Amino acid sequence: MRPLTEDETKAVFEKLANYIGKNIVHLIDRDEDDQYCFRLHKDRVYYLPLPMLHLATSVARPNLISLGTCMGKFSKSGKFKLGVTALDWLAKYAKYKVWVKPTGELPFLYGNHVLKAHLGRITEDTPEHQGVVVFSMADVPLGFGATARSTIQTRDLDPAGIVVFHQADVGEYLRDEETMF
């Protein structure tokens, strides 16, 4: 495991800022007793507590599979893609949120976009193409995506119109379990 380079850090923080905005400082500036850091291991970015990092130094790199929370991975072209494993942190600090009705939960968990007919609520003043976290009506985080329309445009949309483009959901734990780690 190694620290992120400046370009890698910039790519990770830009992607995270799309979903949590200025709340990204809550990931970085923490209490003295609760320090966390970002580390890169085999093209995957991990977010982990410092005491766990110190314990991991005794494990050889080829034997280390995963450590902390996998926030995402870098593609071969150098772009950063957020993974569904980062959902807990995104849901905790999300700036914009979307709630889906119970009838829309399963279609979203199967990898489909959120339609206007499935929309329960949306955060006010959500802009177009903004990263949002998708919740059930019981406030359970289901995944995340990008808005297709702003909140104002959503009101005039027909029921079959797309509100949120799907990017990741918790159903991936079952669909992609062979390639997840």
Domain of 79? 2-89
Q: Where are the beta strands (DSSP E) in 91-130?
A: 97-100, 114-115, 119-122
**Alpha helix (H) residue ranges in the chain:** 6-20, 25-28, 50-56, 87-93, 102-109, 151-155, 172-175
94 three-class SS = coil
**Residue 180 covered by a domain:** no
Question: Which of 19, 54, 89 is where one domain is finished?
Answer: 89
Answer yes or no: pTM beyond 0.85.
yes
Question: Which of 89, 117, 151 is where one domain is finished?
Answer: 89
Q: How far is it, in rounded angstroms, from Cα 123 to Cα 23? A: 16
**Residue 52 covered by a domain:** yes
What CATH number has the domain bearing residue 6?
Answer: 3.10.450.220
Tens-level pLDDT at each residue, the chain (181 residues): 889 999 999 999 999 999 999 999 988 888 777 889 999 988 899 999 988 888 888 888 888 888 889 999 999 998 999 999 999 999 999 999 999 999 999 999 999 999 999 999 999 999 999 999 999 999 999 999 999 999 999 988 999 999 999 999 998 777 777 766 6
Same domain? 70 vs 108: no
Same domain? 43 vs 107: no
Question: Which of 43, 61, 89 is where one domain is finished?
Answer: 89
